Structure 1
Amino acid sequence: MLRESKGNRSLKENLMLASSTAFVSGMINVAGMIAFFAFTSNITGHVANLARHIVDQNFREIIVFAIWLLLFFAGAFLSSFIVRSLSHTSYYRAHAVPVVIEIIILLFVAVYGQSFYNETKLEREVVIGGIIFSMGLQNSLVSTISGGLIKSSHLTGLFTDLGGDVAEWLHPREEKTNAVRNRIYIRLTILCFYLIGAVIGGYLFNMFDLAIFYFIPFILLTILYYDLSPLALHKLTRLFSPTVKNN
């Protein structure tokens, strides 16, 4: 899922990346809504709240929402900067580092939420900010990897793009190409797995509370392992192949 650049990716790789990251986004968003009464996988609603607080002149809330927006931007910036900096040496390393950072942040949320969280307003704002930063990392990463095809953390743009793709597919003057069909498959996959992740996330939160954030890094680790295991197997094969030949 992470080993190939945007120009060499197969439909299977894009579908797997879309499904796994959309599932994570759905779980995180519903967990954020239940635990903190705030959207945590996207910032569309935060922009509206920022505008409302500007009108009401709630200066503290203005600062909080502005920081959240900047954190999403910072996560997206960092992810893209890392990919551009490391892609000349290894696409896997370039794509894996933002995922590792996301895992660390979500594990921090899990540990802090389970052991130290006292439900104060400041704590809530800090934890939400950390999750939003991690979603900026993820959304930028999958968009960069897929050449803008996959955006897993919000659905507004997804429905817009899906509507355009379906219109192109059904229009009598347009040719029904594999590229259009594949885009529709990917966008429907994102939608389905985001919803599945949200439903499962809701059930798990009711059972485990903030410990749900231990489950989410596990899913991200499977993304890393999917590409890492063939590389490790290949290195082991090369390591022992001379011994086999000599025997």
Structure 2
Amino acid sequence: MFTHQGRKRTTSHNLQIASLLSFVAGIVNVAGFLAIHKLTTNVTGHFAFFLDEVFRLDFWQGLIYFLYIFFFFSGSFLSGFLVEYIARRNSNYTYIIPTAIEGMILLVVAVFGADLILENPNGIAFTLLFAMGLQNSLVTRISNATVRTTHLTGLFTDLGIELSQLFFIREILLRKKLFTSIKLRFTIIGFFFTGGVVGGIFYSQMGLHVLLFGVVALMLGLIYDSIKLRMLKLTRKYRN
């Protein structure tokens, strides 16, 4: 899921990582909004608010919205930088370390976020947007831009286009490829929705501790990938 790259990467691997990370993003999206009433998984709306505040000459509030965008961008930049840096040293850990960092960030917000909701809500927004920028860059890179998990605008656009193509494409191979892509889109939507439901239901009881579900999901994904990698190495060793 995290270690397979290039030709070794299959549709199954993309479905696995799409399921995992879209579930996490769904939790973060709802938990962040309920906690501080801000979008914490994408910056599309924040850019519009940024321009609105600038035109109103409220530069301080405009700066806050700019920082939302900046922290998302910074997470994306760090993820891309780490992927390139680690890939040159040990390709087996290329995507594992950024995922572990995301998990630690969510853990910190889950543990200390309740104290910041009133004192520094923007700090929570900055941190979660940084984590989602990191995740979005990571999954975009590992899936060759096939999977996006932190926002649904482009996803529904692609889904609409692909569903419309079903009325016109008749070639068996092309239709099979199209159905595979549609399945991936529905998987992301479904798990994003599931994560949102989990976040919404448990937020009323746990507050930002609900992010621990996302942390556990990421850790289980890394453990699963580690076990698969070890089994693969053992299989190759015995074959040789």
Fold match, TM over 0.5? yes
Q: Does 1:209 align with 2:207?
A: yes
Shift of the 5–29 alpha-carbon distance from structure 1 to 2, 3 Å rule, reads: same
Shift of the 172–216 alpha-carbon distance from structure 1 to 2, 3 Å rule, reads: closer
Is the Cα–Cα contact under 8 Å of residues 4 and 91 in structure 1 kept in the other structure?
Answer: no
Shift of the 238–147 alpha-carbon distance from structure 1 to 2, 3 Å rule, reads: closer
**Range moving further from structure 2, 30-39 or 73-82:** 73-82
Which residue of the other structure, out of 166, 174, 193, is the alignment partner of 1:195? 193
Shift of the 88–63 alpha-carbon distance from structure 1 to 2, 3 Å rule, reads: same
Is the Cα–Cα contact under 8 Å of residues 135 and 153 in structure 1 kept in the other structure?
Answer: yes
Shift of the 235–159 alpha-carbon distance from structure 1 to 2, 3 Å rule, reads: closer
Q: Does 1:158 align with 2:188?
A: no
Q: Which runs of 5+ in 2 are unaligned?
A: none
How many residues align? The count is 237
TM superposition score normalised by structure 1: 0.89
User: Which amino acid is 2:216 matched to?
Assistant: F
Equivalent residue for 1:127?
124
Equivalent residue for 1:245?
none
Shift of the 6–22 alpha-carbon distance from structure 1 to 2, 3 Å rule, reads: farther
Shift of the 14–57 alpha-carbon distance from structure 1 to 2, 3 Å rule, reads: same
Is the Cα–Cα contact under 8 Å of residues 110 and 214 in structure 1 kept in the other structure?
Answer: yes
- Give distance in 2, aligned partners of 1:236 and 1:161: 40
Is the Cα–Cα contact under 8 Å of residues 117 and 124 in structure 2 kept in the other structure?
Answer: no
CA positional deviation for 1:7: 3.2
Equivalent residue for 2:181?
183
Is the Cα–Cα contact under 8 Å of residues 23 and 214 in structure 2 kept in the other structure?
Answer: no
CA positional deviation for 1:87: 2.2
Runs (4+) off by over 3 Å? 88-92, 172-177, 231-239
- Give distance in 2, aligned partners of 1:75 and 1:16: 22
Identity of aligned residues (%): 35
Equivalent residue for 2:46?
46
TM superposition score normalised by structure 2: 0.91
For the aligned residues, what is the CA RMSD? 2.1
- SS of the residue corresponding to residue 119 of structure 1 reads helix
Is the Cα–Cα contact under 8 Å of residues 168 and 174 in structure 1 kept in the other structure?
Answer: no
Equivalent residue for 1:244?
none
- The equivalences for 1:77-88 within 5 A come to 77-88=77-88
- Give distance in 1, aligned partners of 2:231 and 2:61: 52
Q: Deviations over 1:13-52 (max 9, x none)?
A: 1111111111111110011111000000111111111111
Shift of the 177–84 alpha-carbon distance from structure 1 to 2, 3 Å rule, reads: farther
- The equivalences for 1:128-147 within 5 A come to 128-147=125-144
